[in-house]
Amino acid sequence: MHFCSCFCERERESAIFNMNQSGGQETFQTSCRILGTTAFVIIKLPSEKLLVNHIFAIVCNGLLVIPTIVLNAVAIITIWKSSQLSRKPCYFIILVQSVTDLAVGFVGLPLFIFYLKSGIGGDANHCTLVFLTFRLTLLPAGLSSITLIALTLERYIAILHPYSYCSEVTKKRLLLFIGCFDALEILVLAFSLYSRRFLEIYVEVKVTFALMSVVFTYTRIYLVVRKIARSQCKPQDPSSEENLTRMKLFLREIKQAKACFIVVICFFVLNFLPATTAIPFFPMLNKFEELAVSVWVITLGLLNSSANSVIFFWARTMLQKEAIKMLKAMISW
């Protein structure tokens, strides 16, 4: 999202790019006024190489639509219908994340495809629509980051403060936390039409907080796991069934934390690592080359919506069994 705000800034600060072709003046970019701000949108690509890049990006994003919808829809229905899963706060967060990822399949990817098609041969009269479409494409990534922060905090309490987990972590509180910050995310995106600098500051603060919370939480979890692993090397009382049951439950929470950690790392790798790698090279590129790189950075971010489901849901044997059971029930019905 930070990358996209930087990209929009360069679009707004650049002048309308014209190129002489066949003795005439051909316009490749147009501008429009949105809430007092001048927005620039590319409506035609100047070379066949860039055109092929755009078409290939459209095909790849089109292919992502079906798996994103199917994988997340099955995950949502399975968790919703399974009493064993739906009552656990951790799986409730996964449900909310799957709903956000499902929105990427139904809304985010189609909007981004529309934005890409406008670069092949867009209409100058639709500048406002194309610009707003691009901004709306950024929203799912912002909402996903809020859900993953909630998931990190939930794992922190579940493992490091298990005795207060049941009283402090409830589905109602989690929904309130996610809902409030999702509303804030939408308001910030809307206000960014007036002030892009406000959006940049918000994204920088949120990403910094998310990284710090992830590093702090999973470092603490790792230290606890290492301490327990060392204690298991010592002789234990085999007659203590209570300790054995407690240890099994704790190990289950640890296994869940590993899956959460992989999902969080995947989110940062797909959403921020490509942008961080690409941005230093942008001063050496013209705006069209920059656009060619940016479409793949955004595509990787949208790919995260399918990766979340595969890593978090379909990699777990228990969840696979629940999903298969649910699908069989739907087919027989």
Whether 42 and 287 have beta carbons less than 8 Å apart is answered as yes
Of 240, 311, 301, 243, whose CA–CA distance to 276 is shortest?
301
CA distance 33 to 220: 49
Whether 41 and 82 have beta carbons less than 8 Å apart is answered as no
**Confidence (pLDDT) at 314:** 66
List Cβ neighbours of 89 (8 Å cut-off, separation of 6 or more).
154, 169, 170, 171, 174
Assigned CATH for 2-332? 1.20.1070.10
Report the chain's terminal Cα–Cα distance, integer Å: 43
Neighbour tally for 154: CB within 10 Å: 24
**Confidence (pLDDT) at 178:** 93
The token pair that represents 311 in the structure block: 């890593």
Q: In the chain, what are the domain boundaries?
A: 2-332
CA distances from 7 to 41, 165, 196, 230, 330 (A): 11, 42, 11, 49, 45
Of 19, 32, 36, 21, whose CA–CA distance to 191 is shortest?
36
> pLDDT truncated to tens, each residue of the chain (333 aa)?
444 545 444 444 443 344 434 344 456 767 677 766 676 777 777 788 888 998 999 999 999 999 999 889 888 888 888 777 778 888 899 899 999 999 999 988 999 998 888 878 766 567 777 778 888 887 877 888 899 889 899 989 988 888 888 888 888 999 999 999 999 999 988 887 777 777 778 888 888 888 899 999 999 988 888 887 777 655 555 555 656 666 777 777 787 788 788 888 888 888 888 878 887 887 888 878 888 888 999 999 899 898 888 887 666 666 677 777 766 766 666
3-state helix, strand, coil in the chain (%, to 5): 80, 5, 15
